[in-house]
Structure 1
Amino acid sequence: MAGQGVKEARPEVSANSRMTVAAHALTWIGLYQRRGHEVATSEQIATSVNTNPVVIRRLLADLRKAGLAESRRGAGAGWMLSRDLAAITLLDVHDAIAAGPIFALHRSPPDPECVVGHGIGPAMTAVYDQIERTLRGELARTTLEDILRDVLKAV
């Protein structure tokens, strides 16, 4: 549409941050363990993330199910990594916490008699499949060790 500028994203609408929070939590645990601590509490991790410990516990439960984190109960309770930061990719984290594809088609099928309604599904599926392949490839190339290295450079 001629004459219309690009609108900026509305700041009150937030994107899903579960991936970032999960990477933050695991990277924090890895650094904490490297500094000589055996386990990290959800309260400690939540302080770094600036969120409620319940949010961290729920997220870490998903990461535990995926084999990325372990928990210890009782005296000395807390969280630890299941494997080294260099052996955990962002794809591992994504697959542990993502609830499905990034994009989806209509919830109800569009009108098949409409030319756009008939063809939109295959056209968008091709685009979405390519985006998904590209995303997964990029996430697989980055480990949490890479993230920690970049974090420490920024300090």
Structure 2
Amino acid sequence: MRRDSRLSRMLHVLIHMAEHDEPLTSEAVASFLSTNPVVARRSMAGLRDAGFLTSKKGHGGGWALAVPLEKITLLDVYNALGDPAVFAFGPTDDQPDCLVEQAINERLAATLEEARALLLGRFATITLADINADFEEKLKASPWTGKPEFCG
């Protein structure tokens, strides 16, 4: 089953944005994400609509952080991406009249919702500044001496 990596990928883009003084074009973001600019713009639009990014069209335009990393949590980014599913598995409805399936689905749904609430609660406590600090520590320990560029 394929994983939804939008959250991780968008966090990656946002941390890189903090390292750049100029806005990043949709083409640059798309290149990093190995997708086309329309998909990149669609992903970034949710963050712009939530007030975390700005966008400017035309020459010299692009995407830029609208607020400091300290003001953006993992939960903010998750919500801006449209609340993607956090688990790849869940209840089935192949045989909705089956009492065994009903019992499984009720218990599984309740357990998954409890786990989702715990996960999203933790997301609310982690800022992008926390992740950026982790990156800065890795950078200090690295032999890299240049300015961080987009990976990929």
Tell me which amino acid in the other structure corresponds to 1:51.
Answer: S
Give the match for residue 5 of structure 1: none
Give the match for residue 31 of structure 1: 19
The aligned runs of 1:4-153 (5 Å cut-off) are 14-32=2-20, 37-47=21-31, 49=32, 51-54=34-37, 55-103=39-87, 104-106=90-92, 108=93, 110-112=95-97, 114-153=98-137
Specify the SS of the correspondent of 2:55.
Answer: strand
Q: Does the 8 Å CA contact 1:101/1:132 hold for their aligned counterparts?
A: no
Between the aligned partners of 2:29 and 2:102, the Cα distance in structure 1 is 49
Kindly name which structure, 1 or 2, has the bigger radius of gyration based on alpha carbons: 1
Between the aligned partners of 2:8 and 2:99, the Cα distance in structure 1 is 40
Further displaced range: 129-138 or 62-71: 62-71
TM-score, with length taken from structure 1: 0.75
Further displaced range: 80-89 or 55-64: 55-64
Q: Does the 8 Å CA contact 2:9/2:33 hold for their aligned counterparts?
A: no
Aligned length: 136
Mark the runs of 5 or more structure 2 residues left unpaired by the alignment.
140-152
Shift of 1:133: 1.0
| Superposed structure 1 runs of 4+ greater than 4 Å apart | none
TM-score, with length taken from structure 2: 0.77
Between the aligned partners of 1:83 and 1:121, the Cα distance in structure 2 is 42
Query: How big is the alpha-carbon RMSD for the aligned residues of Structure 1 and Structure 2?
Result: 2.1
Shift of 1:23: 0.6
The one-character-per-residue Cα deviations of 1:51-85 (angstroms, maximum 9, x if unpaired) are 23524222112221222211011232111112110
Between the aligned partners of 2:55 and 2:129, the Cα distance in structure 1 is 21
Tell me which amino acid in the other structure corresponds to 2:17.
Answer: I
Specify the SS of the correspondent of 2:19.
Answer: helix
Q: Does the 8 Å CA contact 1:19/1:97 hold for their aligned counterparts?
A: yes
Q: Does the 8 Å CA contact 2:33/2:40 hold for their aligned counterparts?
A: no
Shift of 1:31: 1.9
